[in-house]
Amino acid sequence: MAYELAKLMSYEVHDRIINLLFNELQRDPIEGFGRPTMGQLAAADREVHLKLAELTRAGLPLGPNGELPLDKHVDDVLRLPSVMWLLMPRPKGNPDRTPSKAAPAAPAPKHQPDKRPTKNHKFDKTKGKRVKTPMPLQLRGGTPNDADGKSICFGYNLGTSPYVPEPWGFSLTPDSQAVEIGAATADLGLLATQCRTVLKALGKDPSSKFPEGFPWLKGINLIKVEAANSLYDFAAKVAWLCDEHGVLFTVENPANSYMWETKFFKHLVDRFFFHIIDACEYGSEHKKATAFLANFSADRLRQRCTGNHTHKSWNVEKAEDGSWRFDTAKEAEYPTKLAKQLALALFDKLLESQQFKLQDNLEDHAPKVSSEAQPRRPKGPLLLTEFKTKVVVSCDPAQVPPETIPEAASPPLQGIPVGAKRLDVQPVFNEKGEKAISFILREGPVKTAQHRTRMLNHFLERAKCLQTEEARLHESLDQSIRPVLATKRLLLFRETLVEAGVDDPQLFDDLRFGFRLVGDLQPSGQFQPQWKPASLDVEQLKQTAVWAQRAVIASCRKGLDDLEVAQAVWDETMEQTMPDKQWVKGPFTAEQITQRLGPSWVPSRRFGVRQNGKIRPVDDFSQFLINATVSCHEKIDLEGLDHICSTARFFMGASTEDGDMRTAGDKGSAPCKRAPEWSASDAKDIFGRCLDLRQAYKQLVRHPCDAWAAVLAVPCPADGTVYFFEAIALPFGAVSSVLAFNRAARALRTILSRVFKLATTNFFDDFCQLELGLLKESAWKTAETVMQLLGWKISSGEDKRKPFSKSFEILGAVVSFKSSPIDVIEVCNKESRCVFGDHVPQPFVTAWARAGKRQVIAQAEMFPVLAAKCTWRKQLSGRSIIWFLDNESARMAFVRCFSPVIDNYFMLQLNSKFDLELQTRNWYSRVPSKSNPSDSASRLSFTEYQNCHIQDPCYERLLKSLSDFESLMQLLERGGG
Q: What is the mean pLDDT of the chain?
A: 77
Among candidate residues 86, 115, 142, the one where a domain is terminated: 86
Q: Is residue 762 part of a domain?
A: no
What local confidence, expressed as pLDDT, does residue 119 receive?
45
> Kind and range of the H or E element at 618?
strand 614-620
If phi > 0 it is left, if psi is from -120 to 50 it is alpha, else beta; for residue 484 that is alpha
Find out whether 779 and 676 touch, Cβ atoms under 8 Å: no
pLDDT bucket at 134, cuts 50 / 70 / 90: low
DSSP H helices in 177-248:
186-201, 206-209, 219-244
What percent of the chain is modeled with pLDDT above 90?
17
Confidence of residue 105 (pLDDT cuts 50, 70, 90): very low
The residue-averaged pLDDT of 334-341 equals 82
Q: Are residues 193 and 338 in the same domain?
A: yes
The conformation of residue 733, written as its DSSP 8-state character, comes to T
Burial state string for 343-377 with b = 16 or more CB within 10 A and e = fewer than 16: eebbeebbeeeeeeeeeeeeeeeeeeeeeeebeee
Residue 19 forms part of a structural domain: yes
Alpha carbon 453 to its chain centroid, in Å, reads 45
Give the integer Cα–Cα distance in Å for 885 and 869. Answer: 14
**Cis-peptide, bond into residue 381, ω within 30° of zero:** no
For the ranges 13-22, 451-460, 825-834, the maximum mean pLDDT occurs at 451-460
Element (H, E) at 616: strand 614-620
Return the top range by mean pLDDT from 77-91, 205-219, 543-557: 543-557
CA dihedral 605, 610, 616, 621 (to 10 degrees): -30
- 29-60 pLDDT, tens per residue? 777 677 888 888 888 888 888 888 888 877 77
Q: Do 949 and 841 reside in the same domain of the chain? A: yes
**Cβ-contact 576, 583 below 8 angstroms:** yes
Reported as a pLDDT band with limits 50, 70 and 90, residue 704 is very high
- Better-predicted residue by pLDDT, 143 or 875: 875
Residue 107: its pLDDT value, please? 46
Q: Is residue 425 within 8 Å of 644, Cβ to Cβ?
A: no
Give pTM, 2 decimals: 0.54
β-bridge mates for residue 664, sequence order: 669
pLDDT band for 371, please (50, 70, 90 cuts): very low
Kindly calculate the radius of gyration of the chain based on its CA atoms and give it in whole angstroms.
37
CA distances from 742 to 493, 533, 739, 766 (A): 16, 19, 5, 11
**Nearest-10 Cα torsion for 371, 375, 378, 380:** -60
Q: pLDDT-based confidence at 944, cuts 50/70/90?
A: low
Least confident of 116-125, 128-137, 735-744, 832-841: 116-125
The pLDDT value given to residue 362: 38
Q: Does residue 805 sit within a domain?
A: no
949-959 CB burial, b ≥16 within 10 A, e <16: eeeebebebbe
Predicted confidence (pLDDT) at residue 190 exceeds the cutoff of 50: no
Contact between 409 and 390 (Cβ < 8 Å): no
* Residue 138 burial (10 A CB sphere; 0-12, 13-18, 19+): exposed
Amino acid at 534: A
Tell whether the model's pLDDT for residue 317 goes beyond 60: yes
Domain that holds residue 33: 2-86
Contact 60, 8 (CB under 8 A): yes
Residues 196 and 335 in one domain: yes
Do 54 and 199 share a domain, yes or no? Answer: no
Q: Which has the minimum average pLDDT: 61-65, 67-71, 938-942? A: 938-942
pLDDT at 368 over 50: no
pLDDT for 318 equals: 66
Please say if the pLDDT value at position 171 is more than 60: no
Q: Which of 130-139, 647-656, 826-835 has the highest mean pLDDT?
A: 647-656
**Most confident of the following: 213-227, 459-473, 953-967:** 459-473
Q: What is the pLDDT of residue 852?
A: 64
Yes or no: say if 305 and 278 are a contact pair by the CB < 8 Å rule: yes
pLDDT digits (tens, 9 = 90+) for 601-614: 999 999 988 776 68
pLDDT at 264: 87
For residue 109, CA distances in Å to 104, 123, 243, 755 come to 11, 21, 65, 101
Q: How many angstroms separate the first and last alpha carbons of the chain?
A: 34
Cross-strand pairs, 767: 691, 762
> Do residues 721 and 588 lie in contact, with contact meaning Cβ atoms separated by under 8 Å?
no
Measured CA to CA, the distance from residue 726 to residue 573 in angstroms comes to 11
- Beta carbons of 141 and 97 less than 8 angstroms apart: yes
Q: How far apart are CA 577 and CA 319, in angstroms?
A: 76
Q: If you write DSSP's letter for every residue of 39-73 in order, what string do you get?
A: HHHHHHHHHHHHHHHHHTTT--PPPTTS--TTHHH
Q: 268-282, 309-323, 387-401: which has the highest mean pLDDT?
A: 268-282
Per-residue pLDDT tens digits for 476-506 = 999 989 999 999 999 999 999 999 888 888 9
654: in domain: no
Strand partners, 620: 605
Please tell me the least confidently modeled range out of 48-52, 377-381, 718-722, 761-765: 377-381
For 614, phi then psi, to 5°, come to -120, 165
729, 573 in Cβ contact below 8 A?
no
Residue 115 lies in a domain: no
pLDDT at 973: 72
Residue 577 pLDDT = 92
CA-wise closest residue to 772 among 690, 651, 670, 881: 651
| C-beta separation of 644 from 809 below 8 A | no
Question: Which of 43, 64, 86 finishes a domain?
Answer: 86
pLDDT confidence of residue 321: 61
Residue 512, class by beta-carbon neighbours within 10 Å (0-12 exposed, 13-18 middle, 19+ buried)?
A: buried
- 963 and 846 in one domain? yes
pLDDT attached to residue 977:
47
Average pLDDT over residues 706-720: 92
CA distance 47 to 51: 6
* Mean pLDDT, residues 470-475: 92
The reply to whether 968 and 838 lie within a common domain is: yes
CA distances (Å), 17 to each of 71, 276, 706, in order? Answer: 11, 55, 30
Do 335 and 192 belong to one domain? yes
pLDDT at 804 over 50: yes
**HSE value, Cβ hemisphere, 13 Å, CA-based, for 452:** 28
**What percent of the chain lies above the pLDDT cut of 70?**
74
Cβ atoms of 261 and 253 closer than 8 Å = no
Instruction: Please tell me whether residues 80 and 182 are part of one structural domain.
Output: no
| Residue 601: per-residue pLDDT | 93
CA quadruple 915, 921, 923, 929: dihedral positive or negative?
A: negative
State how far the Cα of 120 lies from the Cα of 130, in Å rounded to an integer: 23
Which pLDDT band, with edges at 50, 70 and 90, does 933 fall under? low
- Per-residue DSSP letter, 290: E
Residues 82 and 186 in one domain: no
* One-letter amino acid for residue 941 of the chain: S
Summarize the confidence of residues 527-535 as an average pLDDT.
Answer: 85
The C-alpha atoms of residue 749 and residue 765 are separated, in whole angstroms, by: 10
**CA 384 to chain CA centroid, nearest Å:** 21
Residue 104 has pLDDT above 50, yes or no: no
CA atoms of 865 and 874, how far apart (whole Å): 15
Residue 218 in any domain: the answer is yes
- What mean pLDDT is predicted for residues 849-859? 74
Cross-strand partners of 661:
655, 672
Task: Count the domains in the chain.
Answer: 3
Count of CB atoms situated within 10 Å of the CB of 214: 14
Give the best-scoring range by mean pLDDT among 45-49, 64-68, 132-136, 176-180: 45-49
Show Cβ contacts of residue 433 under 8 Å, excluding neighbours closer than 6 positions.
647, 650, 753, 759, 760, 761, 770
Q: How far apart are CA 462 and CA 495, in angstroms?
A: 9
Residues β-bridged to residue 701: 729
Give the least confident one: 169-178, 278-287, 694-703, 961-970. Answer: 169-178
Q: Is the peptide bond before 136 cis (omega within 30 degrees of 0)?
A: no
Give me the torsion for CA of 534, 539, 543, 547, rounded to 10°.
40
Q: What is the DSSP string of 494-511?
A: HHHHHHHT---TTHHHHH
Which is higher by pLDDT, 858 or 359? 858
> Residue 141: which region, alpha, beta or left (left: phi > 0; alpha: psi -120 to 50)?
left
Residues 195 and 339 in one domain: yes
Last residue of a domain, one of 86, 121, 151: 86
Asked if residue 208 has pLDDT above 70, the reply is no
**Buried b vs exposed e over 813-846: b needs ≥16 C-beta within 10 Å?**
bbbbbeeeeeeebeebbeeeeebbbeeebeebee
